[in-house]
Amino acid sequence: MSVSMQGSKSTVNEYLENLPDSIHSKLYKSPATCLAIFRLLPSLSKFYIMTLIFTENATVSYPELNKWLRTSPQHHSNVSDALHVSPAKLYRNESLKRLKSLNLIKEIRRQITNPNTGATTSVLFFRLNPIFRDSLRNALSGGNTALGNLTNTAAATTAVVKDEEGDVEMQNDLNGMFKDENKDEIKISFLDKWSLSKWENILHFMVGSELEELPSVGVLSLLKHSGLMETHGKNDDLMNLDKNENKEDYVEDDVSTLQNMKITKEGFQFLLQDINSQIWMLLLQYLKISERLMMNPVDVLNFIFVLGSLELGKSYKTDSLSSTQKIMLDDLIDYGLIYQRQYPEDSERKDNHFFPTRLATSLTSDSKTFRSATQVMNKSINQFDKNNPSKDNGAIIIETNFKLYCYTDSPLQIAILNLFVHLRSRFSNMVCGIITRESIRKALVNGITAEQIIKYLETHAHSQMKKQAQEKLLRKIDFESSTHTNETSGRDGKNHFTPELEIIPPTVIDQIKLWQLELERIQTFRGFLFKDFNNDLEFEKLWKYATEIGVLLWKDINKRQFFVTQEGNLQVVEYANRMLRRQRSEQSTPQP
């Protein structure tokens, strides 16, 4: 789960990191957005921010930051100290890099005079972005009066504030409005059902199953623009697309051509991801389109992040939204992220309250809760229509002999399985198939990764398989702990062994991975080669630095060569220049 989730998260992060500074500072004016962005950070970055947020000037020196870190791991068995770069350090660099690229911290160099010796040294300081700091402080402390003005500047914040204020009356008139649904319970399950059906409708459309109601044009063109689906006559359509792009208008695609789209490779990959990643992917695509439509990206992003902090089963007023956000509202309804009640007698008029669904509220939460959230979802849905067990995700059984059985009659799932399983027979409520080298290779060639296949199988495994795996794990842990207590040398780091939950037979997993490796004998990286060093010292310093900042790809000590990634090159070159300068100055001083 974490892999695919990290995938989706990284795309979000990438998008955020690539935004210009001005947009960053606008974004950080909204406490809700700050909170959401904060939650997307690595734990160590969160820790750094938390330590800085309540200090007076929100600065900290780089050496001080390092002091908190336990740099030497407790074990150094066979790796010599010099060659070892601790993972903690790598993690720290990664965390700092993220903070910097999100513009959350700024580097400042300051001259510090040592009170004893009087010598001045330049020390690197980190300073928390003041806008971000104020907003997050606001969010944490509930806002104080001095910062109140700031809160009001961001449109999205006011929206939230208004929502909260109007909530009490809103609750009351809501109760009057739907007397049959005034219990929270029912509403939530209703929302779950509604949002999932909406979402599945989109997925069903992608695999081309028969649908009573096609997704809306907005959804269809989004699918097309994200490259998940393509229209039939490729050449014609490419031209069409170009034309459309020139006009900067995406809605004008012919509806009937859109409805006859075919799924692409990317689309298949998309299907294998978990819901949360799928939604993020579409939302990012939405962001890109919205930029082209001259929608304010700050408004759009704020709204997405605010959605994540709204509460399930509560209604919110639409009045307080900005015009951009009102446009978004309609689109998000199409994706099933938001529910808005429509009056049956008058389809044009819409209720001025909206309900975020679970798909929306779990946007900024982490994968594990979401998985449990989907489980809750499935549960509640199953309670609703017990005669439709196909919606239960846990239906796949795999045996160690690569045979696969799936209790389903949903064309969606069968279509997905067909991507990497050689299906043999189909019954009214199940399909049988076998995983072969050919079937997996077909999927791999289509761009689906082994990781994705395994994740899919794991998340959709039959409950019986999960149960068995858990029992096995428990037995293993028992066994381990019983042997461990007898061992006196349990601490040398080698004896520890953490048993993992193996839902899918390990043989199958390994084999799928091996089949992937068959195709990946050569990996390519873009980057830069460093060679022709003057001496060992220089060489060693440089490659160590490169490892520390995590950009080293390959090195050969004998040939004095190493290779770094494209992104890291600049940093390494700078470091090298600095080193050269220092050397020169050192050489020049003693001579005269």
Binding site for another protein (CB under 8 A): 2, 5-6, 31-32, 35, 38-39, 41-44, 46-47, 50-51, 53-55, 67-70, 73-75, 86-88, 90-92, 94, 136, 139-144, 151, 160-161, 164-165, 184-185, 188, 308-309, 311-314, 364-369, 372, 484, 490-491, 493, 496, 498, 550
Residues contacting residue 587 through CB under 8 Å, at least 6 positions apart: none
DSSP 105: E
d(CA 195, CA 339): 8
SS3 (DSSP) at 341: strand
Shortest Å distance, C-beta 74 to another protein: 6
Local structure of 166: helix, strand or coil: coil
Q: Identify which of residues 93 and 209 has a Cβ nearer to another protein in the complex.
A: 93
Q: Nearest distance from residue 80's CB to another protein, in Å?
A: 15
- The nearest distance, CB 354 to another protein, in angstroms, is 16
Tell me the two tokens of residue 298. 């700050």
Distance CA 273, CA 269 (A): 7
Q: Toward another protein, which CB reaches closer, 260 or 372?
A: 372
CB nearer another protein, residue 188 or residue 223: 188
Closest distance to another protein from the beta carbon of 350 (Å): 24
CB of 141 to another protein, least distance (A): 5
Report DSSP letters for 475-538, one per residue.
Answer: HHHHHHHHHHHH-S-TTSSSS--------S-HHHHHHHHHHHHHH-S-----EEEE---SSHHH
**Residue whose CB is less far from another protein, 61 or 285:** 61
Q: Which is nearer to another protein, 51 or 468 (CB)?
A: 51
Q: H helices of 251-366, where? A: 255-259, 265-272, 275-292, 297-309, 323-335, 358-361
For residue 218 the two structure tokens come to 């907005």
Smallest gap from Cβ 313 to another protein, in A, equals 7
161 or 434: whose CB is closer to another protein? 161
Q: Tell me whether residue 309 or residue 439 sits nearer to another protein (CB atom).
A: 309
CA dist list (Å): 302 to 23, 204, 322, 336, 534? 11, 30, 11, 19, 53
- Nearest distance, CB of residue 445 and another protein, angstroms: 27
H or E stretch including 566?
Answer: helix 566-588
Least CB distance from residue 308 to another protein, whole Å? 8
The pair of structure tokens assigned to 190 is 């209703």
Nearer to another protein, 9 or 224 (CB): 9
DSSP state of 425: E
